[in-house]
Amino acid sequence: MLKSLKFAVAVATGAAVLSLAGLAAGSSVAGAATNRVRQLQVSNWFGFNEGPSGSLGNVTLVPGPATPPAGTGSAKLQVDSTGRASLGSNAYKGTSLSQITAMDYWGYVVGGTTNQLVLTFDVTYDTTLGNSAYQGRLTFIPSSPPPANAWRHLNALADGTWYGTAAPGNTHCSQSSPCSWSQVLGFFPHAAVRNDPIGQGALLLRLGGPITGGATAYVDDLTVATGISSTTTDFEAGGSITPTIGPSGSSITAYGYGFHPKAKVTVKYATGVRGHKSAVVCTAVADPAGAAQCTGNLPAVAGAPGVHAVTLKGRGTAESLIYTDDFVLSS
């Protein structure tokens, strides 16, 4: 399994890693709050494919499906047979597992197959040792298969089991012999979501790994609470791009919602090079529902490796509407 934010490490230059680390620093969860996400950015919620090169693992922010548990939209995860679509945030890094009082989300799996939409996070099993090196992930698997084409609420502390992907977690809680949440706390009383100055510590909702024939699922209304704070994330239709990582000249597809019907939507990429204007990647005309989609290529010389902004701009229902997403340039 790939490490959290391996897409950042794959940039392969120190400057790029430092740039991404600075932007990826999530804020600590503090106070009751609702976070409505309409664009995917490294500093908030990000989407990426953890599958092998050439596989499909897309994350987009879309309307529906049906009636979502919060708002009118959700995050869509789509994979082919080998893709691994991951939707993640570093906002929970350093959170002690013993302090978590709630961890739940809603999922919708197209077709109601046995393919599970799972919750997983980078983990440090004993924070008293002062070691923030990557120790794998702790992964929640629901105890029952998802219903067909319907929203389902999942309480990760009670509605399934957990397993570690690497030692020491998989010594006590393996995929073949997983643990309840209380058993996890018993084996690892000082465990926490990883908190590393460069690698950070991501909590992810993921689909894939591999799935024969591929799959599509949606997620919404994630709540993580401790004794002193609670944060609910509501994913809404907005702007997103796929893929989110690649070299100069990469082909990307942009998706946007909420525009005025027939509005021209322009997608631009910021090279970050002084004196160079943002490059137009593609343009589209919003359909009667206000949705726009187009595909184009990044510039052949797209700037320094690291995080670059991709904007989707057009007339909204009342005023100009702009979404800003992040693309991680590898070379």
Average pLDDT over residues 203-208: 97
pLDDT (tens digit per residue) in 99-120:
999 999 999 999 977 788 999 9
Average pLDDT over residues 253-267: 97
Instruction: Give the pLDDT band (50/70/90) at residue 275.
Output: low
Quote the pLDDT of residue 114: 77
Residue 224, exposed/middle/buried by CB under 10 A (0-12, 13-18, 19+)? buried
pLDDT at 16 over 90: no
pLDDT (tens digit per residue) in 209-251:
889 999 999 999 999 999 999 999 999 999 999 999 999 999 9
Average pLDDT over residues 188-210: 96
Of 201-205, 276-280, 303-307, highest mean pLDDT: 201-205
Beta bridge partners of 104: 155, 223
Q: Which of 88-97, 203-212, 288-297 has the lowest mean pLDDT?
A: 203-212
Quote the pLDDT of residue 31: 64
* CATH 2.60.120.560 for domain 247-329: no
| Rounded Cα distance, 31 and 274, in Å | 40
Q: Which residue has the tokens 């000249």?
A: 249
Q: Which of 7-16, 134-143, 187-196 has the lowest mean pLDDT?
A: 7-16
Q: Which pairing describes strands 73-79 and 57-63: parallel, antiparallel, or unpaired?
A: antiparallel
Quote the pLDDT of residue 198: 92
DSSP secondary-structure letter at 148? Answer: T
Average pLDDT over residues 292-301: 96
Cα angle 15, 205, 212 (rounded to 5 degrees) comes to: 105
For the chain, the domains span: 6-238, 247-329
Beta bridge partners of 76: 60, 218
Q: In 59-69, which positions are buried (b, 16+ CB within 10 angstroms) versus exposed (e)?
A: bbbbbebeebe
What would the CATH number be for the domain defined by 6-238?
2.60.120.430
- Rg (C-alpha) for the chain, rounded Å, is 19
pLDDT at 14 over 60: no
| Rounded Cα distance, 215 and 321, in Å | 31
> How far, CA to CA in Å, does 22 sit from each of 37, 66, 67, 166, 288?
20, 38, 37, 27, 40
Average pLDDT over residues 123-140: 97
pLDDT at 285 over 50: yes
Secondary structure element (H or E) that encloses residue 275, with its range: none
Average pLDDT over residues 41-68: 96
pLDDT at 172 over 60: yes
Mean pLDDT, the chain, rounded, equals 90
31, 91 Cβ separation under 8 angstroms: no
272, 303 Cβ separation under 8 angstroms: yes
Quote the pLDDT of residue 258: 96
Closest residue by Cα to residue 204 from 107, 139, 160, 124: 139
Exposure on the CB side of residue 127, measured as CA atoms within 13 A: 16
Contacts of 130 (CB under 8 A, 6+ apart): none
Instruction: Give the pLDDT band (50/70/90) at residue 137.
Output: very high
* 229 three-state secondary structure: coil
Q: For residues 238 and 25, which has the higher predicted lDDT (pLDDT)?
A: 238
| Rounded Cα distance, 252 and 176, in Å | 38
208: phi > 0 → left, psi -120 to 50 → alpha, else beta; which? left
| Rounded Cα distance, 107 and 75, in Å | 10
